[in-house]
Every structure is written in C-alpha cells, then in structure tokens.
Chains A and B, each alone.
Chain A
C-alpha cells in the first residue's frame, strides 16, 4: 500500500487521515480497507476450499474403494477408522455434511462474494471504499469466528454435525438419532448464526455502496455486469438469510428448550418423546426459502465475473447487456418462489408441487437467455485465452450441463425417481458447485494483477485449467448414469441392495478423477503464492479492459485513486468499436474525445456531456480556491 497515494487524496476524504499510521494490525488484521478485507476473505476461502475438498476425497475413497484398508488414515482420523481399517459410517455422514456446509457457505458464499464484492464494488463503481469500512471489517471477523467454531466442531469426540448439509430435523434435533446431533450440531448452529450475521453485514454494505457511492456518470445502466451481479446477490442474501436464521432459531428451541416446532410423535431409543404437533416439513420450507436463493447467491457473482472476463477477452461488448441485467433481475425475483421444488416428495400437498414445478421451469428461461448471450459474445470475437477466459468458458459449459439436468429435476413427475439420487448430486455439483468455483478461479486469475500488482503464470494456469476442466467432468458426468440407475445419495456403501450393486468400476473412476482434480489445485496454489512475490510485475491495465479498477495505480493504496475519482462517460463494454483506433475505450474516456467511433445516439449526447464537464470544472476550480 503506498502512503503517497493516500496523502494526495482530496478534501472530501479527510476521514482517511488516520490511515497514515497503519501498523501491522490495522493493515493486515483489523483492516478496514475493502481490498485487504477482500484478500482476507480470499485466503480464508482458499483454506476452507482445501479442507472441504479434502473431506470429499476422504469419502470418495470410501465410495470408490469400499474394500480399502484405511488404517493409514488413522493418524488423521483416529477412532473414526475402526480396527478393521474401515471408515465409520457415522463419520462418513459427518464428512458429507461438513463438505456441503463448508463448500456452500464458507467457500462459495463467503469466499466468492466476500472476495469479489469487496474487492470490485468500490473499484468498479469508483468509490474510495465501502460505505462502512468498520461494518465490512466486522463482517469478515464474524465470518472468521464462524469458521473457527465450525473448525472446532470437526474435532469433537462425537463428531461434527452429520445430518446432511440441510440438517433436517428430527435427525438434527435428536442426539439419540446420530451422535453428530449433539455438541457438533450445537456448534454448527452457533457457527451458522455468526455466518448469517456476517453475510447480512456484508450484504447491507454492498447494497449501500452500490446505491450511494457511484462516481460521477456511473449510472446503473453503465455498471459493469459484475456489479449488477454482486448487487443482486446481496439483495437475495439480505432477504433470505434471516429466514435461515429463523429456521435455525426454532431448531435451537426444539433441541434445547423442549419446544415442538419440528418434532412430533417420535419414539426413539426405547422412549416416546413428549413433543407433538410439530412438523419437520415446516423446517424444510424455512430452510429452502434460503436454500434455494442460496444457489443463486453462489452462482450470480460467478456469472457476473464471467460476463466481464468473456467480454474483455473476446474484445467484444457483452451481447445483450440489457437482456443480461433483465435476466439477472428475473433470476433474483424467481429465486424466491421456487424453493419447494426440493420438496416434491416430502409429503407436502401435491398441488403445491404443481405450482412449484411451473415456477421452477420459468427460471430456466432467464438462464437460457444468459447462455445464448454468452455464446453470441464469443461469436466473431477476437478471443484471447487467458486462464481467466478459459475458466469462464468452462463455467458456461458447466452452467449448460448442470442447468439442463435441472429441467428434469424441476419436473415433479420426473423428480419422483431422481430425487435424492446421484443425478441430483451431478446436477448441483455442475451448475452451482463447479460453475461457481470456476467463476471464482476466473476472478482470481483476472484480478490477481490488481490485488497483488503481479501477474500469475499463464502456462501453469493453462495446465491447471485443463486438468480441472476435464477432471470435473470426469467426476460429475458419470454420476448422471449412477443417478439414473437409482443410486441414492449419502450412502456409505451400495452393497446392501441388488439394484445398486454395480458400477463399482464407475465409482472407482469417479474417485480417481476426484483425487487427480483435487491435487491439480495445488498447481494453482503454488502459482498463487509464488506469483504474489515472484510473479512478473503487472502493468496498469494488463488485459486492456474498460472498467474503472484498471485506472487506479498498479497497487492502489487505501482510497484507491491518488487524486480525483475519475468520472465515467460510457458503458463498460466499448470493445472493438468501429472507428476507434484501439480495440477498447475505457469508461473514463469522454464521448467528446472519440468522435470517430461514436454511434449516432452517442454523438447527440456529446453536447450535454461537454456542458456537464464544464460545470464540473468550475466547481473543482472553486473548491481548489477554497483550500
């Protein structure tokens, strides 16, 4: 961070003065600089991704090699490996539960939104920082605390929560039903409470910042699609996370204070419980009211990042900018009215199923529009395959593959057979897991130069991409076959059933592919940390991009721009404009400076633009005189 840049700030930002005296703690730990907080989120997210991925390797070993002697894991897992070298079935469930929780919340929500919303919102809208730096800091540290609590739960004697990441009661409410529902589940609930608080603080900040702190000229119709995506993601989170909190709160009451919100008519462990009148289906409604929007909370930022990366590296405007925004808005609204498609066979009224099938299939339309727009953006472009671009194309592929299988699952009649089979596992791992993950990786490759002032190595990026892209398909594509064959998910082994007593070869193949893909991520980790210190020095605008973040110094200080915040005069996608000399025109270039490339309607705006510029000039001069 350069102190010089902070010293030069204009009068309107005196409140940054105290930042002159950054010490280690205020700079790296309790930082209120959005860029540092973004990096904190990123590194924490990477830690959790490794852990969450590692857990999946453990249960993939069990699924791919059920006969394997796992004694070698005893130093790590201790008593969860029995004398015969077998993985404990309860711990297997804990593994899938923690894998899901970690990946969905800690990696793809906090790691993705936390990193890129924080990093890009102020930089791309032209703001010095978030609306509230303090809340932003608080948001990260609550997330950190949540993570610490969840991490501790992994080491409990009774194991972490084991009822699946959805933690449906009564299983999650009754310690007698599964040991993980004891202290492990308590810690899960506490951790999630902090996580929800963190998400809300972050979300309020993102929304406020986008609405209030845009620079001159940055109207909503000139926002990069990344910002649109982050903004709507924050709106979704703000509206749905409180519902998860209420679901969790009622669960806490049922677990600890003897209420019966979700519990009714239960006989367990030789004892009839006193609870009557509750409904487990109520929990499912509350949970999925967040749970489904959550899918879009992890996906929209990835789609936003991809839109930006694809446009930049196709050297072409994103096709259908307005249509992209409308589909984002459509997805945002619809994401709240499709939740019960997770519950077609939960015993809820079948009429409700019909309604939700209808609404669910509607949400496929904006998603389809987005795909077609991506394809048309590539069409007749001039494509540069940076690692970020490769990962973005990979994302579009996953989004198609996983999105199309959603049409099966959203159809309640077809869902009867496919519900809770590996078909579902394949579906959501492609469309939400891998697609969002690829969006995140694309974002890191693309904005690494802005984060650390250095370039990541492209060749390692290519190797990383191809192993991961092929690997992800090798892991999740075969699961469709396994799912159509009816294999239920969250099964410790498939030997108990005749119908599922096959495909050991395919499961082994999936496990091997998963292990290879997992270890390929270390190429990325090496690239990331090595490039941070030894990578080639970045130039100011290495991807020749239009958006505002590339007008800051190579390593922006706190406050982002050393002088005035630049004004914005055009939309962010003027790539390869006919008549223009370069194949990109940054947002800060006035229309009046590019008469050769202006479209007719833009030429008409030149006059107004000049007038506004003149007025602003006068205000600036007047301000300067006052000092």
Chain B
C-alpha cells in the first residue's frame, strides 16, 4: 500500500517536472485549492445548520432557574450576533480565494490602507461589544448580588469525591464548623458547641422549594471542587479555607420537569467542574425541587445530626449538651 502511494508520488513529481509546471508561479493546483475552499464553505455550512437544528433539543438543556433564563437569553443574543459575523467573515474568507485566484494577466490592486475603513471596523465592534458588556454586567451584578434575607440556606461541602449537604435546621442558622473537628462521624467538622449547630441536619439529596430563593453556601474540605448544576445554570468553586456562595430561584419542580421532558427518570444533578483527582468525573448529587408546602413538610421531618447519632453530643460542654438532650427528647 505504502509503496503504491510512494510510486504515485514519484511519478507525479516527475510528470510535473517534465511538464515544467513546477516552474510556474501558480500551477493547476491553484484552481483546485480555490474551488476546495468554496466546497468547504458550502459543505461545512450545510453540516453546521443541519446539525444545529436537528440536535437543538439535545444540547439546549431545559432551564430551571430564574437567572438561567437571563443568562440563556444573553447566550443566544451573543450567538445571533457572533453567528452573523462568523458566517459573513467566512463567506468572504472562502469566496475571495476563489474570486481572486492567481491570473498571470492580472495585477493585484495596490491598496495599502484606508483609515476610514479602519475606524469603521474599530468603532462598530466597539459599540456592539459595549452593548454586550452592559447587558452582561447587569445580569452578572443581579446574579451575584447578596441573597435575599428569606433565602433557604443549604450548605454544600465538596470533598474527594463527594458532596456533603447540610441544612441549618429549625433555627434557620447554620452552626459553626472547623476543619480540625472532622472525624469519621463528623465528616463536615461541625462545631456542636455552637448552639446553632445542634439542630443542623444532613440530607442525601439537595431538596429545595420551587419559586423561592435558595442560597448555596459552598466550601471544600480538601482540594478545589466546583458545584455545577447545569439545569440551574449555576456554577461556583468550592475552595478550602474560603467559603463561597451562589443564590438562585428554582422555577420548575422535578415532577414538572419530568412531565415536560416526558422522562419519568429525570433528576436535577450537581456535578464537579474543577479537577479534583481520580474520582472527579463521578461527584454526583441529586437536587430535588419540590413545591414550597412539600418542602416545609420535608424540612420539619428531618432528623438532626445529633438525633441520628447521639454519640456526637458525648464530649460536649454542659450547656451544649443540655441543648442536645432537648433535641434528643424531641425525637
């Protein structure tokens, strides 16, 4: 096989030397290359439109948060603007080679500069970009503004290779934590001497109410992680030693989304998007969005860390222990 290619190659070269085409500035290949650019333009253009339309529902994930609607709108506005530029510039880039391919009889135009043109194509992109910046900036400052007072707080702690979830309990205040308190039974290092921690509880699933603001308080136990909830359009790094946060308003319950997608198995998910080691690709948690009433009911039924594992209260100072015991009696 290789030797055949080799033979063809040698013969080709010899033929071109004999024909003297290697002496010419632009041989017949010049025309072929020019045509190929047009073929490429048309071919890939069709491919792009066909695939983009056909697959739209696959790659466009349904949106399940309020700010997600805003960022997605920005995304598609940017797509429209850049799409037009992309197509126009590529039409020019691939048509010019065809139109202006080398001809011995023609001379290229000597056209070294045109300040008016330069100014136009500096200012026009500047204006368009300014509009994009302003709209992006507005969305960004809304999204990153402090969470409303009434936001439901959920703490998410990343570790290799797991997310630990903590709710503040009935007092709505998360207790303190300290990484030096972490043990096999207290994976999050919760400081139970803080009375706010006594009623904190954990959950295997992130349950949040629809239509109400939710604040994720995010931290990491070992290395960087990043909380990514694709349907919520939410992403924030989890940084050891520096708590971060992200608040949002979910707009569709899991049940509603299942119905909309006609997929009874559907779940909202959290993934990790900051490389964190061997199990980086499998840090999964499920988010369950429920109606506010169902949320309240679920919330009040949860058992606190202490209730689930009374041993946690064993070494506490007297005051905290008394609180813990009240908790245990409520069980």
Contact = CB atoms under 8 A, between A and B. Distances in A.
Contacts of A470: 40, 44
A379 B96 contact: yes
Given A323-B113, A481-B55, A404 B82 contact: yes
Nearest to A358: B133
Contacts of A575: 108, 110
Interface string A342-375: 0001110010011001100110110011011101
A469 interface: yes
B211 interface: no
Contacts of B224: 168, 170-171, 280
A133 interface: no
Nearest to B178: A265
B241 A383 contact: no
Nearest to A543: B25
B108 A381 contact: yes
Interface string B82-115: 1001100110111011001111001111111110
Given A380-B108, A400-B90, A89 B61 contact: no
A583 B282 contact: no
A577 interface: yes
A482 B58 CA distance: 9
Contact of A491 (B22, B27, B280): B280
B139 interface: yes
B108 A416 contact: no
B112 A321 contact: yes
A177 B312 CA distance: 28
Contacts of A272: 179-180, 182
Contact of A279 (B16, B36, B78, B241): B241
B221 A267 contact: yes
Nearest to A354: B137
A461 to B, nearest CB: 10
A382 interface: yes
B233 interface: yes
A281 B237 CA distance: 10
B235 interface: yes
B253 to A, nearest CB: 17
B34 interface: yes
Residue among A317, A417, A460 having the largest count of chain B Cβ atoms under 10 Å:
A417
A298 interface: no
B295 interface: no
B122 A496 contact: no
B141 A280 contact: no
Contacts of A1: none
Interface in A433-461: 457-460
B188 to A, nearest CB: 10
A268 B60 CA distance: 38
A90 interface: yes
Contacts of B310: none
A151 interface: no
A404 B52 CA distance: 17
Contacts of B108: 314-316, 380-382, 575-576, 583
A544 B102 CA distance: 14
B48 A477 contact: yes
Contacts of A378: 92-93, 96-97, 100
Given A383-B102, A384-B102, A488 B242 contact: no
B230 A385 contact: no
B212 interface: no
A390 interface: yes
Contact of B61 (A163, A322, A485): A485
A620 interface: no
Contact of A371 (B48, B89, B143): B89
Given A378-B96, A400-B90, A488-B228, A407 B129 contact: yes
B242 A171 contact: no
A90 B60 CA distance: 31
Contact of B141 (A164, A350, A469): A350
B111 A319 contact: yes
A499 B230 contact: yes
B52 to A, nearest CB: 8
Given A369-B122, A383-B101, A485-B61, A317 B235 contact: no
B107 A357 contact: no
B111 A380 contact: yes
B280 A490 contact: yes
B240 A265 contact: yes
Contacts of B321: none
Interface string B54-81: 0100111100000010111011001100
A486 interface: yes
19 contacts: A93-B275, A170-B222, A267-B189, A272-B182, A280-B224, A316-B111, A320-B112, A364-B125, A365-B122, A378-B96, A381-B108, A385-B101, A393-B97, A407-B78, A408-B79, A411-B74, A414-B71, A462-B33, A499-B269
Interface of A: 89-90, 93, 163-164, 168, 170-171, 174, 177-178, 263-268, 272, 276-281, 314-323, 345-347, 350, 353-354, 357-358, 361-362, 364-365, 368-369, 371-373, 375-376, 378-385, 390, 393, 396-397, 400-401, 404-405, 407-408, 411-414, 416-417, 419-421, 457-460, 462, 466, 469-470, 473, 477, 481-482, 484-486, 488-494, 496-500, 502-503, 536, 544, 573, 575-578, 583
Given A361-B132, A368-B122, A404-B85, 15 more contacts: A171-B276, A177-B223, A265-B240, A267-B221, A280-B241, A397-B93, A397-B94, A413-B71, A414-B71, A457-B9, A462-B33, A481-B55, A490-B281, A499-B231, A499-B271
